[in-house]
Amino acid sequence: MNGIAAAQLRSIVERIERLEEEKKAIADDIKAVYGEAKANGYDTKTLRKVVALRKKDANEREEEEAILELYKNALGMV
């Protein structure tokens, strides 16, 4: 591999490594916020579901909820 390609590869690897470190730091921060929520009496499992739901658009949420209700009805869970 010539010097330019090796330097480019090294740069790419170093950027990936830096981003992985940042990702870990952010994950640790998120974990700390969930810990704070738990310490204040919030149910973290439910909080995680709420966060996931907020990422989806309204139509997608409605469709998932309708399918869930359909399945629950079919299994006699309602």
Residues 38 and 1 in one domain: yes
Tens of pLDDT along 55-70? 999 999 999 999 999 9
Determine the Cα–Cα distance for residues 9 and 17; give it in Å rounded to an integer: 12
| Predicted TM-score (pTM) of this structure | 0.74
Residues 23 and 38 in one domain: yes
Tens of pLDDT along 27-63? 999 999 999 999 999 999 999 999 999 999 999 999 9
Residues 49 and 38 in one domain: no
Spell out a b/e string for 22-34, using b for 16 or more CB atoms within 10 Å of the CB, else e: eeeeeeeeeeeeb
Give how many domains the chain has, as a whole number. Answer: 2
